Copies of this chain bind each other. A is one copy, B any other.
Amino acid sequence: MTSDATASAPHNHWVLTFVCPDAPGIVHAISGAIVEASGNITESQQFSSADTGRFFMRLQVQAPTDQQQFEAAITPVAERFELDWQLDRVGRPLRTLVLASTAAHCVNDLLFRQRAGQLPVEIPLVLSNHGSLRELAAFYGVPFESQSVTDAASKALFERRILEAVEEHDIELVVLARYMQILSPELCEKLAGRAINIHHSFLPGFKGANPYRQAHARGVKLIGATAHFVTSDLDEGPIIEQNVVRVDHAQSPAELVAIGQDEESRTLTQAVKWFAEDRVLLDGARTIIFR
């Protein structure tokens, strides 16, 4: 276990994350495994949860090994300490499915940053219940499909298409970029821990529909946005990121909508970025974010 003294090629830059019951000796053991794989630790973060008694760690390691060798070194430690672990290459683009409706701002931000190299994802498909973002997706060279949702039957078909697309493209993350349909409990269950939604309020305030109208009526002085994991308990999934912006009495509900869009875009994009970089871990109903 060493520090960042030896430069390695980027393709030998690994990110290791794990969760396990807290116990003495974990870090010592894992550092031993990394030494065995000739690895240098370049970034390291840890957290012991007093709420759940679990230990969380994220390591970036430069190591001149292939994935199989690295995994072989880690496996004995993982078994001994009951690690729930994951090894990935730093910067590998995450296969991401984007769900959209008519609002362009979140989709535009994701696609623009993906192309600008600021977001380590690849987006094989934007799937929408409206056709209005087709041109936007085309500009960024991203395949686009739309399929109308008008009743229970068409909603079921749309959800079936989501699952097919997830299968077809080996999707690792589903992003609801102002997708305006509520997912069924079954779909929430199937996508648990790999679907992120943006809610246009500062949760837990103003759950449900028309949050900006609610915010106006209540006369709040800051409005916000919340990116969270999708669960069947609507607007109650673990929170990943939140931002707020100051408003005042003079702004109408319609103006709050326009002002809030910036917070929505940047909050969702930030959450997707952290997730794609393996910086988001779950501790019960809360998230651990290793920024």
Contact = CB atoms under 8 A, between A and B. Distances in A.
A1 B23 contact: no
B108 A112 contact: yes
Q: For the complex formed by this chain, how many copies does it contain in all?
A: 4
A250 interface: yes
A1 B22 contact: no
A166 B104 CA distance: 31
Contacts of A5: 22-24, 48, 55
Contacts of A3: 22-24, 26-27, 46, 48, 55
A168 B105 CA distance: 33
Interface residues of A, number: 67
A144 B277 CA distance: 36
Nearest to A269: B262
B249 A283 contact: yes
Nearest to A57: B3
Interface string A20-61: 001111111001100100001111111110100001000000
Given A285-B218, A286-B219, A24 B50 contact: no
Interface of A: 1-6, 22-28, 31-32, 35, 40-48, 50, 55, 104-105, 108, 112, 116, 118, 139, 202-206, 217-222, 224, 238-244, 248-250, 252, 258, 262, 266, 283, 285-289, 291
Given A1-B28, A3-B48, 20 more contacts: A1-B31, A2-B23, A5-B48, A5-B55, A31-B31, A41-B46, A44-B44, A104-B116, A105-B112, A105-B116, A118-B258, A204-B218, A204-B220, A218-B239, A219-B286, A221-B239, A222-B224, A244-B244, A248-B291, A249-B286
